[in-house]
Structure 1
Amino acid sequence: MSFEVPDDLYYLESHEWIDPETGHVGISEFAQDELGDVVFVELPAVGDDLQQDEEFGVVESIKAVSDIYAPVSGEVTAVNDALEDQPELVNDDPFGDGWLIELDFDDVDLDELLDADEYADQIA
């Protein structure tokens, strides 16, 4: 099976992504497929400071509970409140409406992440 891996995002080996333009963070199409139907998402509060690779939330599905890790260090500037009532957005649109949080971050941390080609190789 082939999964979407947008070229303009950066990835963690643990399947989180960050959009360097918007600061949006989410989980990959591969990750949501592995989890199955998402039924609950626990996210941090706006204003929380996160450290790179730090656990910042939980995605709960019918199959598993999975920790979510920060791809970069930064301050949470927004959370996707729509997920409270519609956690399935993570399954339906993991790179769009299913984003989790927005971070204000320093670009320097992006150097430590996987680009799209490296991530695609990892999940192949």
Structure 2
Amino acid sequence: MISISAPLLQRASFRISIRQNDLLPKIDLPSLSEAGGVQIVFNENLKKISLPRLTTINGGFSVDSNPKLTKLCASKLVNGGSVCIGNDLNQPFLDADLSELVTGSFFPSTVCSDSNAANVCGAGGTTGVFSAVG
């Protein structure tokens, strides 16, 4: 797959899973505000993820093992559910904006631990991801 386009998708009660698409350079879901889950993993040439209106994930939010990923834009995400943002070994150039993220928890994994999230812009401009756990 070389492109994903869903400009009118606002809510998905299911998990959106985008995985193992070696030709995919960008994911842009401009109207998505709520999802049952979001999993974006193992996309060899993915460079940018844009979720500008996403506020709520009811399940898990997993972004890891995308080695060329440089941008993760989800600046309105408030509730992340169970969050996994891959570490600097499997996403070494990631610059992520999760600056509004307030509630959620880290998925317990060596790939997705709090100490691996120093390159993620968290609430209040901090480098941690959550301002509250819930």
TM-score by length of 2: 0.27
The structure with the largest strand share of the pair is 2
The structure with the largest helix share of the pair is 1
Greater RCO, 1 or 2 (C-alpha within 8 Å, sep 6+): 1
